[in-house]
Structure 1
């Protein structure tokens, strides 16, 4: 996180939209027509995946990857006009939400405007041709940020878009120099004060691989100098291994707890179960009750929650990036009411400024606690805290809550409003997620 990153981002929710496959129409207008439904889920920020024209040379699939951009300063005509895009932004703002767009500054399509007009701004292979540094990205060519004229062009482009949008999600941000991002942040702030910066930081293994090949790649700690938020790819691989039964819940819990001390005080992690590069959550977690628990933990986990379009319907199929493949919302599952309730919990001010920890209560049950921080060393009052119980196998449980610090009594589950009893330091659950607040219990004497 940058020094001025606002901790209140930890109380917010991002909803990611791939315009091409969000609807059958695949247009800005179709998104605009659905804004009220999106807002009803509980959404603060809409992230539009790349909105720009797509290259034709070396195109993947029939329509090409949205991340192989031909012109940073135009919009994809299949989605609508630039005026249509501006109307969408206005409609989002009218509803009190913010909008961010994808910035793909590591590479362009081989037939991009920049590749044609400024080939000197690109990475060149040994034979002098344009190329990329990562072999399987054969539909793009990499930019070379040793050219400071490129910096000027890219920053001017960001300033142009910042007149309409509230910030940027930056693709493989780790592979673009941090000093560039710092300069961009400073310049954009003059056009859009308080602009939001979300980094797609990359997996630790990818950082190490890049460095082994002489490719500069920033760690999360470096990325946070310029960005407000970063992906939690630093531990996402461990999460996947837990789902696959390769590691224990204790291993995943320890990884989460490590984040609390290795990053600065106002760090914000983007927490997600799925995105356009990953399997759908329902595909990886087929049991519906288990899925509800994982979703509830995603909201409760320290950071900003990030949804991918169609997740509210429990969709199992990840839309193709390179072809027309509209989301099927008619799945028979509707997670929208749960998301709406979790959004209300997400707004709890305890989550804004807390010391956070997770503990394993049994092989499939994780307890997470947000302890509200004191305002100063002179603040000696007892601060409230939140306790979340998440049953990742969706099974009813009898749990010892001795480590929670909660006294015996009756509490209200903040998710569903149901009364919960703690007796002799224990609780019996039905396998649904539970979130309790320490100062809202009614003491029980026995």
Structure 2
């Protein structure tokens, strides 16, 4: 009897332990946070990261990038934009210098040219050089597990010359008077853009609208991606984007970034556009061609051109700027950090491009394999601080409910840029010497602040003289 009792007791204890473990397991599962769709709230304090998979690592694969996703949280990244991940056309593939790979006689020389990401042969597959669809899905899942959204670079204006539509649906393409498919044309000049490795799509054909929308929808339905960055979005009819977004959002809400400043794109289709004009002004100020006053004039213009809830992406570099216009150091020199801080503190969403966080100072090859540095130097800790401020301080909200932006008068208006952001009692003041010489000045502002980058206390008084070294900046926060 004792043995039987002990046996029942042991079984009961085991069952009890098993139930407790199951309860613990259930509790653990309940603690896992599921990332919901991108929302307007997410946009307010997000940092976006442009991932160049080919050049991000020596391997140039999805997996090599995926293992670094968790540390992007340190930079405040909430949105990962993947440059095109699709197979690249071989026909008319370009080489460095502008010629076609097919014209190169040396076979080994031809092999090193991998083509433009933007000459796509299949919208619903991945570049085998990057890995498999399973590897891609692991990237997306890892990003979601780390609280980050993933958007795909979408090229709706043109395809590569190997795309199956060329043979199966030539009516989808723009054709000349001879009935030959042509590369994209600049509508202002009537001449080729020079993108001769691509074939121009003709949006007069409404069947193309259906096919293109279906291919976009594929990635949302099958891989749970969160939106798209749309290449040369302004060259594609706004009506196409509007109907595409409406159909895709039958699956889930998505985030749309336009490589454009066309304001009509924001009405129904896109959440954010490129701040190209602001970027070019930053370059010109850094090069001594424009002044702080030009920035203030631009911000006044923004108020009149865009609606209050329109959103722009701010940047000091991206894949186009780096490869074709020069590195941050080439274009901005000693002004680089002041401009980086500016991109985080003005209304909008700041961008980090692959390699920027590692002080990259070389132009990445566009058609060939290259690689970014992976040593954390001067820029990484600056981005960590700026990302934290952007994520956590409502005074830097930059989306549909953006914090107020107010320019501050200074006694050196051409050299010193000063403005205040404010929301719900939180204030951030940016003051920078936008010149290559030290400057003494006063700013029309009052209050007790903390220098965010140095943690020193700062008292602002109207008329009180301040001094900043060349390209020195301060980000002041109220406590």
TM-score by length of 1: 0.85
8 Å contact kept, 2:238–2:264: no
Higher Cα Rg: structure 1 or 2?
2
Q: 2:133 aligns with which of 82, 92, 97?
A: 82
CA distance in 2, matches of 1:309, 1:75: 20
Compute the displacement of 1:114 (Å). 1.8
Match of residue 188, structure 1, among 248, 260, 272: 248
Bigger fraction of residues in helix: 2
Q: What per-residue deviation string (whole Å, max 9, x for no partner) do you get for residues 292-334 of structure 1?
A: 211111100110001101111221212121111111234x833
Unaligned stretches of 5+ in structure 1?
Answer: 203-218, 374-382, 441-446
SS at match of 1:112: coil
> Is 2:279–2:314's contact at 8 Å kept on the other side of the alignment?
no
Secondary structure (helix, strand or coil) at the match of 1:130 reads: coil
SS, match of residue 201 in structure 1: coil
CA distance in 2, matches of 1:227, 1:398: 43
Per the TM alignment, residue 43 of structure 1 is displaced from its structure 2 partner at its CA by: 0.6
Give runs of aligned pairs for residues 251-400 of structure 1, distance below 5 A: 251-278=294-321, 279-287=326-334, 290-330=335-375, 333-347=377-391, 348-352=393-397, 353-359=402-408, 361=410, 362=412, 363-372=414-423, 383-393=425-435, 397-400=439-442
Q: 1:156 and 2:214 equivalent?
A: yes
Q: CA deviation at 1:392?
A: 3.2
Please give the alpha-carbon distance, in whole angstroms, between the structure 2 residues aligned to 1:309 and 1:393. 28
Contact 2:286 2:333 in 1 (8 A): no
Aligned partners of 2:442 and 2:466 also within 8 Å? no
Q: CA deviation at 1:137?
A: 1.0
Q: 2:46 matched to which residue of 1?
A: 12
- Over 3 Å counting, the alpha-carbon distance change for 1:360 and 1:59 in structure 2 is farther
Q: Structure 1 residues 46-55 or 220-229, which shifts more?
A: 220-229
Q: Deviation of residue 336 (structure 1)?
A: 1.2
Match 2:258 to one of 183, 192, 199: 199
- Which secondary structure does the structure 2 equivalent of 1:39 belong to? helix
Q: CA deviation at 1:395?
A: 5.9
TM-score (normalizing by structure 2): 0.79
8 Å CA contact 2:404, 2:421 repeated in 1: yes
In structure 2, distance between residues paired with 1:427 and 1:311: 35
Q: Give the unaligned 5+ runs of structure 2.
A: 1-37, 96-112, 187-191
Q: Distance in 1 between matches of 2:457 and 2:438?
A: 16
Q: Which runs of structure 2 are paired with 1:222-233 in the superposition (5 Å)?
A: 222-233=265-276
Distance 2:465 2:230 in 1: 44
Report how many residues are paired.
403
Deviations 1:375-427 (A, max 9, x none): xxxxxxxx55321112334765433122x3x23xx421123322223356435
